[in-house]
Amino acid sequence: MTINKFQGKTKEEAIEKARNEFGSGAVIMNVKEIKPKGLFRAFKSSTYEVTAAMEERESFASQLHNMPRKTTEGHEAINLAADEKIEIPRQEKKPAFVPSGRPKTNSEKEVPEESKLEQRLEDLSDRLEKTLGTAKKEDKRDKALSEPSSEELNFVRILYNTLIKNEVNEKYVNQILDEIEKFMRPGSSVDTILSNVYQKLILRFGQPRTIELSGERPDVIFFIGPTGVGKTTTIAKIASKYKVEYERRVAFITADTYRIAATEQLAVYANILDAPMEIVYSREDLNAAIAKFEDYDLVFVDTAGFSHKNESQREDIRQLLEGVDPKYRTETYLVLSATTKYRDLLEIVDIYHEIADYKLIFTKLDETTAYGNLLNVKLYSGADLSYATNGQNVPDDIEVFDTQKIVKQLLGGNS
């Protein structure tokens, strides 16, 4: 018999993991609730641990076959019953739209509190930005912690709810709470708590990394991503910046031959920028096109958008990227919409990780008010952030990812 333990946010999730691993015949032996520990346990969710077993049928049947039959000569009978009672837990109804373990809110009290939080962010903003890189190292010596005051607990609750409301994954919110607990000292002010949360979020986003010219012509820049996220418009915005503001020679290649409109759209932008454009259908065509632009600084390659579930188109993109002559330096940018559902984003970044290493570009920030997925995807994928777009205007509605602005918005402040 194989026995293993599985954990999940709910009983159902843990049981589902067990059945995915062991199959529908998994035996649920025990279900245990694991309560959170620490000063801020009231704000964290319980998790559940399921102990499940799978019988090794062939081996077990073989052992039974080889066992001597029961006789009347005083041999003891073999007891095949479980040593302990096995209970299969009842399926509990999940509360609609309420994340497991989220603290209850009081809207009448939180409105003024969140207004105070926003004001604190505004007041602290300049000071935090100036001191972010020069903060003193935390004292590593052991210090006794006291129970936080009611004001501190209330402020942590507001921060928790604000991050959850902005759709930051609960797992990452709890990680931040754990770090708050480590630096809390007797008499810590709410401004100190806010300052530390702000800085830790900044560090989690990391330093944005944008296109870096190698000096060896040309640098070949690929843009990949699902349909409808705005790849072609994003390419035009970045190319315009390099052409107009930095006076670089830019060229375009499109491998998006699935949509005629995409080719025509890129051709319009190329014409406006007085930049050449080539259409390619294979990796051989791609290398020939790049060779034509060896005197250019940047070659922007637009690829076909496809459903992340379309395996044949996914393979086409992989072959295109892997087929570039090694003498050319390449970079790849995955373009994602900030309006895409969280589960879909996770599946998309996993699929594209199979194709190439990439940096992240988020589009359509003007079409959402919840920015938690930007942090979620960054932490889940481990990829560097680069640019963000917030409209359709070329070349204006694009900027290097503004980490500090997004963090302030996640914490309930103004952009």
d(CA 47, CA 6): 10
Among candidate residues 205, 229, 245, the one where a domain is terminated: 205
DSSP state of 32: E
My answer on whether 302 and 192 are in the same domain is no
Residue 348 falls inside a structural domain: yes
My answer on whether 235 and 178 are in the same domain is no
d(CA 90, CA 46): 18
Work out how many domains the chain is built from and give that number.
3
My answer on whether 274 and 392 are in the same domain is yes
For helices 403-410 and 190-205, angle between their N-to-C axes, nearest 10 degrees: 130
Measured between its terminal Cα atoms, the distance across the chain in Å is 57
My answer on whether 196 and 125 are in the same domain is yes
pLDDT on residue 378: 97
pLDDT on residue 365: 94
At residue 27, the 3 state secondary structure works out as strand
Q: What is the CATH number of the domain that holds 390?
A: 3.40.50.300
> How many other CB atoms are found less than 10 A from the CB of residue 294?
11
The per-residue pLDDT for range 363-376, each reduced to its tens digit, is 999 999 889 999 99
CB 229 within 8 A of CB 352: no
Tokens of 231: 């790849």
The per-residue pLDDT for range 324-337, each reduced to its tens digit, is 999 999 999 999 99
Mean pLDDT of 246-254: 94
The per-residue pLDDT for range 143-176, each reduced to its tens digit, is 434 455 667 778 888 888 999 999 999 999 999 8
Residue 247 falls inside a structural domain: yes
39-52 b/e (C-beta count within 10 Å ≥ 16 → b): bbeebbbebbebbb
The per-residue pLDDT for range 87-107, each reduced to its tens digit, is 323 434 333 333 333 444 444
The per-residue pLDDT for range 195-241, each reduced to its tens digit, is 888 888 998 999 899 998 888 889 999 999 998 898 999 999 999 99
CA atoms lying within 13 Å on the CB side of residue 19: 10
pLDDT on residue 39: 64
Does 65 score more than 70 pLDDT? no
d(CA 57, CA 72): 28
Does 76 score more than 60 pLDDT? no
pLDDT on residue 414: 65
My answer on whether 200 and 233 are in the same domain is no
pLDDT on residue 106: 46
Domain that holds residue 196: 107-136+145-205
Handedness of CA 233, 239, 241, 245 (dihedral sign): negative
pLDDT on residue 83: 35
Does 45 score more than 80 pLDDT? no
The per-residue pLDDT for range 306-318, each reduced to its tens digit, is 776 778 888 888 9
My answer on whether 326 and 379 are in the same domain is yes
My answer on whether 191 and 230 are in the same domain is no
My answer on whether 349 and 291 are in the same domain is yes
My answer on whether 182 and 315 are in the same domain is no
Q: In this predicted model, which residue has the larger pLDDT, 382 or 126?
A: 382
> How many other CB atoms are found less than 10 A from the CB of residue 118?
16
Q: In this predicted model, which residue has the larger pLDDT, 23 or 390?
A: 390
Tokens of 249: 């020679």
